[in-house]
């Protein structure tokens, strides 16, 4: 057994803590509107420039198991709230760092874990007392929430357009549920990106937009009362795996062969036509000959549709996805009010609108270049999610480090009512929360010590909304400055950071196993140094 196949006790702990802290410090400089960007370069030389925590952590090639846990919580945060991904990683790093201080003093990790858990629970209670209720009809507030999520994502100059688009899109898919509202952004909002034109060419379409044109110009450009057939199978012959050869010895045979081929293509086309559909979306190819017959029947056909689009079409039009042409029945055909091809900046697209019993909408996003549209897309994604979350929960807190400072103060007051070592852990938790305003100040080039002193004193005076204006370096009322965020960002971030930290602290033995859990680790077993190096091989 090589020595690094097992790390135990203190070594295991400090090694894991170091790894967690390393991940946190990698994204810390990107936090907030003034955060720096990272340029991510993959092995093919492709680049992504972003300061979106989720994107950075997703793209980084991280090997250390404890570091991966931080990446996981950040991903969960992204899935649950769509924002606050940097916050959760930075907070985890700080909680680990504070825990390390306690371990040095001889406090057992189990005690720290219990204290942290207790503190996170208390945070939830305190947060409830500083939340502000928002009605789902309060459009102005929703626009501010979208704006806060967009800030710092390289899309500021488009903040107004993007926020308005976000709120319009989310409000159009709100579903009423008993006692509240449900917003399923992932399922009901499709973002279609197009490089070409400017953001002002972007639009919200009530229905689905598919980035494909009809397969032949002779097909109708517009089909009203569309009856839609969805195919995941090709309308052509599959190529054989092996090379095949047909020997033809006379011109007559050649004709026979071609006739036969045409006959089979005609049969395929007829199966499609017999469905009664006037629109066909096919995930695979459509043979030119088959297309000829389909076009003659006046059908609007689209080929090579993405699988994800086919799934959305299935949901929106009610049509079944057919895997075998022989299985088509007239009952499989879905419906839509209108299917038409439209010219947009940068090409033609197919619009499927007027779908009954469906909430699906598409945001058609335009931007000057690929990189611009990509960054708009990331910003829009965050904004759509947070607005959805606020409509569901109806609760917000103010940002700019304000809620973290208030929490920190109230939590340390609470800690003083506790006894023994638990008190130490809860106070450290309170201290750790200050990392958010601190990092916001640092990233804005402000003096974090001065800023923290001012913030604390304002909150002690009872200004619960006092936070950092990162542009002017002043401590101001964040509510009046329109920096507001969903309550769920904070509760989820605090809880997830606590869970990850506790999990890491409780490990005192790291063993290289042979099972699937060992995937992603180097051949040498365990990594002996936390390493964020992109290509690190152990």
Question: With contact defined as beta carbons under 8 Å apart, do 345 and 194 qualify?
Answer: yes
DSSP-based three-state secondary structure for 355:
coil
Q: Pattern of binders to ligand ADP over 141-160, x per CB under 6 A? A: -------x--xx--------
Query: For Mg ion, which is the closer residue by CB, 78 or 83?
Result: 83
Q: In this chain, which stretch among 77-85, 102-110, 212-220, 366-374 interacts with Mg ion, using CB under 5 A? A: 77-85
Between 20 and 152, name the residue whose CB sits nearer to ligand ADP.
Answer: 152
Indicate the DSSP class of residue 319. P
85 or 278: CB nearest Mg ion = 85
Compare residues 305 and 435 and give the one whose CB is closer to ligand ADP: 435
SS3 at position 123: helix
222 to 251, contacts with ligand ADP by CB under 6 A? none
192 binds ligand ADP (CB under 6 A): no
Q: Quick one: which segment of 29-37, 79-87, 196-204, 449-457 binds Mg ion (CB under 5 A)?
A: 79-87
Distances (CA, A) of 284 to 183, 232, 280, 300, 471: 32, 6, 11, 15, 52
Q: Closest Cα partner for 162 from 210, 189, 200? A: 200
Work out what residue 115 binds among ligand ADP, Mg ion, none; the CB cut-off runs from 5 to 8 Å by kind.
none
Helix (H, G, I), strand (E, B) or coil at 190: strand
Instruction: Name the segment binding Mg ion (CB under 5 A); options: 42-50, 81-89, 154-162, 222-230.
Output: 81-89
340 binds Mg ion (CB under 5 A): no
**Which member of 7, 35, 78, 83 binds Mg ion (CB under 5 A)?**
83
236 binds Mg ion per the rule CB under 5 A: no
Q: From the CB of 475, what's the least distance to ligand ADP, in Å?
A: 11
393 is an interface residue for Mg ion by CB under 5 A: no
33 sits near ligand ADP (criterion: CB under 6 A): yes
- What does the alpha-carbon distance between residue 127 and residue 139 come to, in Å, rounded to a whole number? 24
Among the listed residues 364, 426, 432, the one whose alpha carbon sits nearest the alpha carbon of residue 404: 432
Contact 49, 37 (CB under 8 A): yes
Please, what is the Cα angle at 52 between 49 and 54, to 5 degrees?
120
Per-residue x/- track, 345-384, ligand ADP (CB under 6 A): ----------------------------------------
Among 12, 21, 35, 494, binds ligand ADP (CB under 6 A): 35
For strand 484-486 and strand 395-398, is the pairing parallel, antiparallel, or unpaired?
A: antiparallel
Q: What do you get for the CA distance between the two ends of the chain, in Å?
A: 16
Closest separation in Å from C-beta 199 to Mg ion: 19
Cβ count near 271 (within 10 Å): 17
Site string for ligand ADP, 485-504 (x = CB under 6 A): x-------------------
**Residue 468 binds which one of ligand ADP, Mg ion, none, with CB within 5 to 8 A depending on kind?**
ligand ADP
Beta bridge mates, 50? 38
Note whether 91 binds ligand ADP by CB under 6 A: no
Q: Pick between residue 211 and residue 477 the one whose CB is nearest to ligand ADP.
A: 477
Stretch that binds ligand ADP, among 12-20, 29-37, 256-264, 514-522 (CB under 6 A): 29-37
Q: In the bound complex, what is the minimum distance in angstroms from residue 398's beta carbon to ligand ADP? A: 8
Does position 85 bind ligand ADP by CB under 6 A?
yes
In the complex, least distance from residue 393 CB atom to Mg ion, rounded to whole angstroms: 17
3-state secondary structure of 126: helix
CA distance 210 to 317: 14
Is residue 200 annotated as a catalytic residue, yes or no? no
Task: Pick the binder of ligand ADP from 50, 86, 188, 427 (CB under 6 A).
Answer: 86
Residue 532 exposed, middle or buried by CB count within 10 Å (0-12, 13-18, 19+): middle
Q: Please select the residue that binds ligand ADP; options are 154, 400, 448, 486, rule is CB under 6 A.
A: 400
How far is Cα 335 from Cα 356, in angstroms, rounded to an integer?
8
Residue in the shown chain whose Cβ atom is closest to ligand ADP: 399
Q: Where are the beta strands (DSSP E) in 46-177?
A: 47-50, 132-133, 175-177
| Span interacting with Mg ion, options 83-91, 191-199, 322-330, 340-348, rule CB under 5 A | 83-91
Which residues lie below 8 Å from residue 38, measured CB to CB, with a gap of 6+? 30, 49, 50, 51, 56
Q: Any contact of residue 78 with Mg ion (CB under 5 A)?
A: no
52 is catalytic: yes
Active-site residue flag, 46 = no
Which of 29, 50, 52, 78 does the annotation list as catalytic?
52
The catalytic residue among 30, 85, 87, 350 is: 85
Give, as ranges, the residues between 16 and 45 that touch Mg ion (CB under 5 A): none
Query: Exactly one of 20, 65, 82, 84 binds ligand ADP (CB under 6 A); which one?
Result: 84
Active site residue 86: yes
The answer to whether 197 and 158 are in contact (CB under 8 A) is no
Cβ neighbourhood burial of 16 (10 Å; 0-12, 13-18, 19+): buried
Three-state DSSP string of 233-282: CCECCCCCCCCCCCCCCCHHHHHHHHHHHHHHHHHHHHHHHHCCCCEEEE
Q: Is 94 in the site for ligand ADP (CB under 6 A)?
A: no
Q: 3-state SS string over 441-492?
A: HHHCCCCHHHHHHHHHHHHHCCCCCEEEECCCCEEEECCCCCCEEEHHHHHH
- Helix (H) / strand (E) element for 140: namely helix 139-150
Rounded-to-integer distance, Cα 447 and Cα 461, Å: 22
Catalytic one among 29, 86, 350, 501? 86
Work out how close the CB of 151 gets to Mg ion at its nearest, in angstroms, rounded to a whole number.
8
**438 in contact with ligand ADP (CB under 6 A):** no
Chain contacts with Mg ion (rule: CB under 5 A): 83
State the catalytic residues.
52, 85-86, 382
Chain contacts with ligand ADP (rule: CB under 6 A): 30-33, 35, 53, 83-87, 148, 151-152, 399-400, 436, 440, 468, 470, 483, 485
């Amino acid at each position: 057994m090589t020595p690094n196949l097992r790390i135990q006790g203190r070594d295991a702990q400090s090694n894991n803590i170091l790894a967690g802290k390393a991940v946190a410090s990698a994204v810390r400089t990107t936090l907030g509107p003034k955060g720096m960007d990272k340029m991510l370069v993959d092995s093919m030389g492709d680049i992504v420039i972003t300061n979106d925590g989720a994107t950075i952590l997703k793209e980084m090639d991280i090997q250390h198991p404890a570091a991966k846990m931080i990446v996981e919580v950040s991903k969960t945060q992204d899935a649950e709230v769509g924002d606050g991904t940097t916050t959760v990683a930075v907070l985890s790093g700080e909680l680990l760092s504070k825990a390390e201080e306690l371990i040095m003093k001889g406090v057992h990790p189990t005690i720290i874990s219990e204290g942290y858990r207790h503190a996170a629970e208390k945070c939830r209670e305190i947060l409830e007392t500083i939340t502000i209720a928002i009605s789902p009809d309060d459009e102005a507030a929703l626009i501010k929430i979208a704006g806060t999520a967009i800030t710092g994502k390289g899309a500021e100059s488009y903040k107004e357009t993007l926020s308005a688009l976000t709120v319009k899109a989310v409000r159009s898919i709100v579903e009423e549920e008993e006692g509240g509202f449900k917003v399923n952004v992932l399922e009901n909002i499709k973002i279609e990106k197009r490089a070409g034109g400017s953001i002002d060419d972007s639009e919200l379409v009530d229905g689905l937009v598919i980035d494909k044109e009809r397969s032949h110009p002779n097909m109708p450009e517009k089909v009203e009362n569309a009856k839609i057939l969805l195919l995941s199978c090709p309308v052509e012959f599959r190529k054989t795996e092996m090379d095949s050869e047909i020997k033809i010895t006379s011109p007559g045979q050649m004709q026979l062969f071609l006739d036969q081929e045409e006959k089979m293509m005609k049969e395929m086309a007829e199966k499609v036509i017999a469905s009664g559909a006037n629109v066909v979306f096919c995930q695979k190819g459509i043979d030119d000959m088959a297309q000829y017959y389909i076009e003659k029947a006046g059908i609007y056909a689209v080929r090579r549709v993405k699988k994800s689009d086919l799934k959305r079409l299935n949901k929106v039009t009610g049509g079944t996805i057919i895997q075998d042409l022989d299985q088509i029945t007239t009952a499989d055909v879905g419906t839509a009010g209108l299917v038409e091809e439209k010219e947009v900046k940068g090409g033609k697209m197919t619009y499927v609108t007027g779908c009954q019993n469906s909430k699906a909408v598409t945001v058609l996003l335009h931007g000057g270049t690929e990189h611009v549209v990509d960054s708009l897309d990331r910003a829009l994604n965050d904004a759509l999610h947070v607005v959805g979350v606020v409509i569901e929960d109806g609760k917000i807190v103010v940002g700019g480090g304000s809620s973290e400072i208030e929490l920190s103060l109230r939590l340390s007051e609470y800690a003083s009512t506790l006894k023994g070592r638990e008190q130490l852990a809860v106070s450290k938790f309170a201290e750790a929360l200050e990392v958010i305003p601190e990092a916001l100040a640092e990233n804005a080039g402000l003096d974090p010590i001065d800023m923290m002193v001012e913030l604390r004193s304002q909150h002690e005076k009872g200004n619960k909304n006092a936070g950092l204006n990162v542009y002017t370096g002043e401590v101001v009322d964040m509510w009046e400055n329109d920096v507001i965020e969903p309550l769920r960002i904070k509760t989820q971030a605090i809880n997830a950071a606590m869970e990850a930290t506790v999990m890491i602290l409780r490990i005192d033995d790291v063993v290289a196993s042979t099972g699937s859990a060992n995937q992603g680790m180097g051949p040498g077993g365990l990594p002996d140094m936390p390493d964020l190096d992109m290509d690190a091989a152990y």
